[in-house]
Structures are given as structure tokens and as C-alpha cells.
């Protein structure tokens, strides 16, 4: 039975209100940003949409960009950053880059900052691409999936619908909409041309199942394998395939390793878990992957760090059969040729494979994993109990493992602290760990924790960063207080850029010893400075119970380096 497509409008409507109606119809319930330029009209309209869209005005566009990226990564709905063109590009770029490289759906609703009638006069801030000004379309085009520009009100609304569609379709990612002054200043009418319709038809449908014959071929190869292993990447998180991954692993008994960006997609306490493999991976994971005769790759591009610089002692298509699952056909057989390629949603395909494979094998698989852990070690470093001061990073990580709730979400920054967390922190629930492993920007952990806490208000959310990363986005704590987002921030305070210090020496890598806890208290946070290992547990418990943003400034040792956890495979 034919169901007519409904018009978007029934009466004359301001363009800004129609744009927000599109967001509402797409199920987007939060936006992040800072009013500026012509997007001020969107913020004025948001005041009338508070019952459906929560507006998070933050202190810097970098915070908004990361919060939008994390919202998209966790909800599969586009995270939205709204703000003025040059500063959404310049200041919000770390979130946009991460969204592009980690395939998170995201909308950048911004403007040309144009001056109608004067664009040929070197207009202040304008991004129209005319002589004497910058080119917004070209600039945003280099860091997004697509750019749509709107020069009139109807196009402004339709471009927003197209942007939602493109951000969510196929391999998801960031899409920019550039509004001109005239496009957001006007109104749209029901009888305007082109006609505007409801947003639902623009939303992508569920991906089709993988080709049945290809699934059967992959299943036959898996059944024939003697030592199969599954590598889970960030694509498992993007497709919300946590449940499907657990079902597949337990149905088949196949061990699960993750990439660094896939850490958190499979609880590392599970009896089939191996932890992260690759350059900074766990020896047990690398050993299992290296000895495998068949490798199932679910939602990973297998980048340089994942493969220990393509070391064939770890991964080698000449001696291993590859089964690759990916939503993007262009990623198939990208860094390694795969004999069996399954294109589609990771969760749906893992369930297809489960149905095509016989049940059983979990007991044997768990025994295999236990033997590998016993031979290679598995989250059992003696430094977890160290009494040394300054405090060893492993001791801090051990305290987090001990005192955080099982369903906590930990977000990581960039640099050496992230490498150490990736290697030593053991996740206990699916979705419990997030990092910026696509672009790897410093200043990610705090706004990422803010975004995660907004999506999951009932879970403890902890940002772990170095003192360098904390200084970049500690203004996020102001926004956390203003919007009542009670995150916990743990600082590895070694007075240095650890990666730079250990990679080349102390020059241009050392900081003064700042009391970050005192700074946080001045903002209104609960805060403690920790200098002795025995203070860690009480400080973590107090921060979790504070009911407001909390900071634990831990004075840590420089005696531990990223080199200490670099696999010999990547030496």
C-alpha cells in the first residue's frame, strides 16, 4: 500500500526552526557549540526547542567537536557541533579529524561568515572563497566526508537533511553544512520550491545482510581452521555490535583480540579475551594472533600500529587465511588481501556467521586462551602493587581497576599515558574504554568523558590524561560544572610530555610542577592531589561519590616509558 511522503511544514517557518525540526526528526537530542557568526540564529531558535534538544554551550569549540564526535560514536546518530565557520574549522578540528578517521557520524552546522553585497571587498572573517577571503568549502572538504552549502532558506533545510543522510550512510563520518547569511535569515513555506518533506525518508535503512554464499564460504574456512582468532576493531563499537561479538565468541569458542581503537568492544575479563594486539599490545594477544591459521577481522582497517608495521611474524596472508568484515567496500583487502570479504554491518554479519557455524568449542577455546595467558602473562604486572613514589603509572592503573565499578567508562587522551592505559588497564564491560585512536589528538579525554557521561548518565565516567593534555582542555571542567556533568579526571602528572621526553630527551618536553588539584578546586570541583600510592584508593572513592566534577592529580614517575610496552615485533 502506497504511503504518501508527508511535507515537512504546514505553515510558514523561520529557517532556523525548520533546521532544528530536521534534527528532531532525526532523533538528535543534543547539540554542542558556541554561538558565533550567522549560526547565532540557530542558537536563538534553540531557546524555543529546549524540551527536545539539549544545548551544551561550552567554553571552546575544541570541547564541542570532541563531545559531538563521542555522541555520534556512542549513539550512531550524528553528533552536532554548531558555531562560526573559521572557529569550528580551526578550534573544533580535533573532533572532526577523529570523526573522519574513526568513522563517527557528525554534523558541522556552520557558516560562511559572509557579508552579503560585500563579499568582493575582503569581508571580515568571510569564507566564500572570493579574492581576499578564505575558502570554507575547500577547507572543510579536506576533513569531512561531504560539504553542503546553502545560499537560500529552502536549501539550508534540505542541505541539513542531506548532511544527516551522508553522515550516517555506509562508512559513517563528519559532514559540514555551510549556511550563508541569507539562508538562515529567511523563512520557508509549505508551497516553496523545491518542496520540503519529512526527514524520515532521508535516514538510511539498515544495511543489507552479507551475501549468503560468501557467508557460507567464510564459515567453511572457519570450520576448517585449527587455530582461528578474531580481531575486533572500532567498527564493532560503531555498529553497536557488542552483543553480537559476545554471541559469536561464545558460540564458536574463538578467542578475541582487539585493536587499540577496538579496546573496550570486548571485556578483557572474558575467558575468551586476549586484550589488545599490535605494537603496544599484550604479549598474549600477539602470541595468539601470530600462531593463528585463520584471522577474522571485524571492523578494522589494520593500520600500521595494529600490525606492528606489517610484521609478517604477526600477520601474514601467505600462511594465514583472512576473513574481513567491513561496512565500506573500499576497506576490503586494503592493507592485507582477504580471501573472504563480507561487506555490511559488523553485528549483523557476526550473527550470520554464528548461524552458519556449529555451536560448541567454548570450553576448548577458553582452555586455549588460559594456556596462552599463562605462558605470556595477562594483566599481572607486579608494578600494579608498587609502593614507589613518585607513583608508577601501573600503580595508578591498578587502583583504577580495583576501585572503579565494572560498567565504568574510561576515556583516554593522547601520548604516553594513553599507551600505558591501553596496555595495562583491563576493561570489564563492553563499551568501557574509549580513546582517540583515529587521529590521536591531545586534549581528547576530558571532553570525551563529558560526551560519554551525557549519553550514559548512570555510568561512572573517568577521563585519564597527562598534565599536558589536562592543560589543553581543563576549561571543560567549567562547562562540566555549568551543565552538571559529574565526570572524574585522573591526571598522570609527571611534569613532562612523556612521549617526547622518552622519545628524544627533555628539551622542550618538561613542565613546571603545577598543582592541578588547586586549580580544579578554584573552579568548583572536588579535587585531591595524590603523592603516595596508599592515597589512590580513598581518592578514587571520594571522587566517585562527590556528585560533581572531580579531579585527582597524581604525581607520577617518569621511570616508565612507552618503550617498556613496545612489542619486540615492532622494535
Q: What is the pLDDT of residue 437?
A: 85
Which tens digit of pLDDT belongs to each residue from 306-360? 999 999 999 999 999 999 999 999 999 999 999 999 999 999 999 999 999 999 8
Which tens digit of pLDDT belongs to each residue from 132-190? 999 999 999 999 999 999 999 999 999 999 999 999 999 999 999 999 999 999 999 99
Within a domain: 501: yes
Domain co-membership, 103 together with 186 = yes
Which tens digit of pLDDT belongs to each residue from 9-50? 999 999 999 999 999 999 999 999 999 999 999 999 999 999
Task: State the DSSP string of 153-218.
Answer: HHHHHHHHHHHHHHHHSSS--EEEEEE-HHHHHSEE-TT-SS--B-SGGGSPPPPPPPPHHHHHHH
Residue carrying C-alpha cell 536563538: 44
Reading the block at residue 254, the C-alpha cell is 574463538
Q: What is the pLDDT of residue 97?
A: 96
Dihedral (Cα; 184, 190, 196, 198), 10-degree rounding: 110
Q: Which of 324, 354, 376 is the last residue of a domain?
A: 376
Kindly report the average pLDDT of the chain as a whole number. Answer: 95
Domain co-membership, 231 together with 368 = yes
What residues form DSSP beta bridges with 410?
433, 462
pLDDT-derived band at 2 (thresholds 50, 70, 90) equals low
**Which segment of 263-267, 424-428, 438-442, 446-450 scores lowest on mean pLDDT?**
438-442
The share of the chain scoring above pLDDT 90, in percent, equals 96
**Which segment of 115-124, 461-470, 548-557 scores lowest on mean pLDDT?**
115-124
Q: What is the CATH number of the domain that holds 229?
A: 3.40.50.1220
Phi-psi region of 269 (alpha: psi -120 to 50; beta: other; left: phi over 0): alpha
The answer to whether residues 517 and 554 touch, using CB atoms and an 8 Å cutoff, is no
Domain co-membership, 372 together with 386 = no
Q: What is the pLDDT of residue 571?
A: 79
Domain co-membership, 464 together with 557 = yes
Asked whether residue 3 carries a pLDDT value surpassing 80, the answer given is: no
Domain co-membership, 193 together with 229 = no
Which tens digit of pLDDT belongs to each residue from 83-106? 999 999 999 999 999 999 999 999
Domain co-membership, 219 together with 338 = yes
The total number of structural domains that make up the chain = 3
Domain co-membership, 512 together with 400 = yes
Q: What is the pLDDT of residue 206?
A: 87
Within a domain: 100: yes
Which tens digit of pLDDT belongs to each residue from 459-487? 999 999 999 999 999 999 999 999 999 99
> What's the average model confidence in pLDDT over 239-254?
97
Phi-psi region of 60 (alpha: psi -120 to 50; beta: other; left: phi over 0): beta
Domain co-membership, 430 together with 325 = no
> What's the average model confidence in pLDDT over 261-287?
97
pLDDT-derived band at 207 (thresholds 50, 70, 90) equals confident
* Domain hosting residue 331, numbered range: 212-376
Domain co-membership, 414 together with 484 = yes
Domain co-membership, 390 together with 361 = no
> What's the average model confidence in pLDDT over 514-521?
97
Distance CA 566, CA 17 (A): 52
Reading the block at residue 449, the C-alpha cell is 568523558
Q: What is the pLDDT of residue 552?
A: 98
Q: What is the pLDDT of residue 429?
A: 94
Which tens digit of pLDDT belongs to each residue from 369-404? 999 999 999 999 999 999 999 999 999 999 999 999
Within a domain: 571: no
Within a domain: 6: no
Amino acid at each position: 500500500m502506497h504511503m504518501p511522503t508527508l511535507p515537512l511544514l504546514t505553515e510558514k517557518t523561520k529557517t532556523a526552526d525548520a533546521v532544528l525540526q530536521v534534527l528532531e526528526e532525526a532523533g538528535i537530542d543534543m547539540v554542542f557549540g558556541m554561538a558565533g557568526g550567522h549560526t547565532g540564529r540557530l542558537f536563538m531558535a534553540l531557546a524555543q526547542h529546549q524540551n527536545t534538544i539539549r544545548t551544551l554551550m561550552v567554553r571552546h569549540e575544541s570541547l564541542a567537536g570532541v563531545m559531538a564526535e563521542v555522541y555520534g560514536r556512542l549513539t550512531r546518530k550524528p553528533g552536532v557541533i554548531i558555531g562560526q565557520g573559521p572557529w569550528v574549522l580551526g578550534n573544533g578540528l580535533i573532533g572532526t579529524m577523529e570523526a573522519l578517521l574513526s568513522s563517527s557520524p557528525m554534523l558541522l552546522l556552520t557558516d560562511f561568515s559572509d557579508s552579503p553585497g560585500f563579499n568582493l571587498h575582503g569581508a571580515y572573517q568571510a569564507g566564500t572563497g572570493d579574492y581576499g577571503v578564505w575558502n570554507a568549502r575547500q577547507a572543510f572538504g579536506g576533513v569531512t566526508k561531504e560539504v553542503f552549502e546553502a545560499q537560500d532558506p529552502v536549501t539550508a533545510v534540505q542541505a541539513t537533511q542531506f548532511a544527516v543522510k551522508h553522515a550516517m550512510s555506509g562508512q559513517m563520518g563528519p559532514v559540514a553544512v555551510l549556511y550563508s547569511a541569507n539562508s538562515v535569515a529567511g523563512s520557508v513555506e509549505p508551497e516553496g520550491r523545491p518542496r520540503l518533506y519529512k526527514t524520515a525518508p532521508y535516514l538510511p535503512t539498515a544495511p543489507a545482510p552479507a551475501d549468503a554464499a560468501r557467508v557460507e564460504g567464510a564459515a567453511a574456512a572457519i570450520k576448517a581452521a585449527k587455530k582461528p582468532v578474531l580481531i575486533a576493531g572500532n567498527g564493532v563499537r560503531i555498529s553497536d555490535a557488542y552483543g553480537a561479538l559476545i554471541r559469536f565468541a561464545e558460540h564458536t569458542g574463538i578467542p578475541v583480540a582487539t585493536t587499540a581503537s577496538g579496546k573496550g568492544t570486548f571485556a578483557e575479563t572474558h575467558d575468551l579475551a586476549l586484550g589488545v594486539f599490535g605494537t603496544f599490545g599484550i604479549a598474549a594477544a600477539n602470541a595468539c594472533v601470530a600462531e593463528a591459521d585463520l584471522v577474522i577481522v571485524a571492523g578494522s582497517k589494520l593500520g600500521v600500529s595494529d600490525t606492528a608495521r606489517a610484521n609478517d611474524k604477526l600477520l601474514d596472508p601467505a600462511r594465514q587465511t583472512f576473513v574481513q568484515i567491513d561496512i565500506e567496500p573500499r576497506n576490503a583487502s586494503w592493507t592485507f588481501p582477504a580471501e573472504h570479504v563480507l561487506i555490511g554491518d559488523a553485528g549483523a554479519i557476526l550473527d550470520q556467521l554464528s548461524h552458519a557455524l556449529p555451536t560448541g568449542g567454548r570450553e576448548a577455546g577458553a582452555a586455549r586462551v588460559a594456556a596462552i595467558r599463562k605462558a605470556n602473562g595477562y594483566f599481572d604486572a607486579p608494578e600494579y602493587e608498587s609502593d614507589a613514589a613518585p607513583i608508577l603509572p601501573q600503580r595508578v592503573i591498578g587502583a583504577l581497576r580495583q576501585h572503579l565499578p565494572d560498567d565504568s567508562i574510561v576515556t583516554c587522551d593522547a601520548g604516553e599515558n594513553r599507551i600505558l592505559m591501553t596496555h595495562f588497564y583491563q576493561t570489564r564491560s563492553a563499551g568501557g574504554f574509549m580513546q582517540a585512536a583515529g587521529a590521536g589528538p591531545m586534549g581528547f579525554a576530558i571532553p570525551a568523558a563529558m560526551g560519554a557521561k551525557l549519553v550514559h548518565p548512570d555510568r561512572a565516567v573517568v577521563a585519564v590524561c597527562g598534565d599536558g593534555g589536562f592543560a589543553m582542555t581543563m576549561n571543560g571542567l567549567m562547562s562540566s560544572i555549568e551543565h552538571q556533568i559529574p565526570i572524574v579526571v585522573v591526571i598522570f602528572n609527571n611534569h613532562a610530555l612523556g612521549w617526547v621526553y622518552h622519545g628524544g630527551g627533555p628539551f622542550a618536553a618538561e613542565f613546571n610542577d603545577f598543582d592541578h588539584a588547586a586549580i580544579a578546586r578554584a573552579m568548583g570541583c572536588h579535587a585531591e592531589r595524590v603523592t603516595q600510592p596508599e592515597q589512590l584508593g580513598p581518592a578514587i572513592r571520594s571522587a566517585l561519590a562527590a556528585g560533581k566534577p572531580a579531579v585527582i592529580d597524581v604525581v607520577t614517575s617518569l621511570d616508565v616509558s612507552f618503550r617498556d610496552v613496545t612489542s619486540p615485533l615492532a622494535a
